[in-house]
Amino acid sequence: MSPQAAAYFLGGAADEVTLQQNRAVFDRYALVPRVLTGMRHGSTALSLLGRPLAHPILLAPVAYQRMAHPDGETGTAMAAAALEALMVLSCQASEPLEDVARAGATCRWFQLYMQPTREATMTLVCRAEAAGYEALVVTVDAPISGVRNREMRAGFQLPEGIAPVNLQGLPPAPPPEGSNVVFDHFMAQAPGWSDIAWLHSQTRLKLVLKGIMHPEDARRAIDLGADAVIVSNHGGRVLDTAVPTLLQLPAVVRAVAGEVPVLLDGGIRRGTDILKAHALGASAVLIGRPVVEALSVRGAQGVAHVLRLLRDELEIAMALCGCNALEQIGPELLRQL
Ligand X SMILES: Cc1cc2nc3c(=O)[nH]c(=O)nc-3n(C[C@H](O)[C@H](O)[C@H](O)COP(=O)(O)O)c2cc1C
Residues lying near ligand X in the complex (CB under 6 A) are found at 8-9, 22, 60-63, 90-92, 111, 139, 210, 232, 234-235, 237, 265-268, 287-289
139 is in an annotated binding site: yes
Which of 76, 324 has the CB closer to ligand X? 76
CB of 154 to ligand X, least distance (A): 13
Beta carbon nearer to ligand X, 67 or 318: 67
Q: What are phi and psi of 262, to 5 degrees?
A: -110, 125
Q: Find out whether 176 is annotated in a ligand binding site.
A: no
Task: Report, in Å, the least distance between residue 315 CB and ligand X.
Answer: 20
Q: What is the C-alpha separation between 249 and 207, in angstroms, rounded?
A: 20
Specify the residue, 300 or 323, whose C-beta has the smaller distance to ligand X: 300
The DSSP secondary structure of 259-294, one letter per residue, reads SS-EEEESS--SHHHHHHHHHTT-SEEEE-HHHHHH
194: burial class by Cβ within 10 Å (0-12, 13-18, 19+)? exposed
Tell me how far CA of residue 158 lies from CA of 8, 67, 203, 234, 264, in angstroms: 9, 8, 32, 20, 28
If the CB atoms of residues 288 and 302 are measured against ligand X, the closer one turns out to be: 288
Distance between CA atoms of residues 93 and 54, nearest Å: 25
Residue 265 marked as a ligand binder: yes
Q: Which of 55, 69, 234, 278 is catalytic?
A: 234
Q: Is 148 annotated as a binding residue?
A: yes
Contact 226, 47 (CB under 8 A): no
CB of residue 312 vs ligand X: minimum separation in angstroms?
18
**Residue 66 in marked binding region:** no
Residue 210 is assigned to a ligand binding site: yes
Q: How far apart are CA 1 and CA 7, in angstroms?
A: 9
Cβ-closest position to ligand X: 288
Q: How far is the CB of 233 from ligand X (least distance, A)?
A: 8
User: Has 234 been annotated as catalytic?
Assistant: yes
Contacts of 118 (CB under 8 A, 6+ apart): 195, 198
Q: Which is nearer to ligand X, 267 or 271 (CB)?
A: 267
Shortest distance (Å) from residue 291 CB to ligand X: 8
**Cα–Cα distance for residue pair 333/111, rounded to 1 Å:** 33
Residues that constitute the known binding site for glyoxylate: 8, 113, 148, 234, 237
Residues that constitute the known binding site for FMN: 61-63, 90, 111, 139, 210, 232, 265-269, 288-289
Question: What amino acid positions are annotated as catalytic residues?
Answer: 234
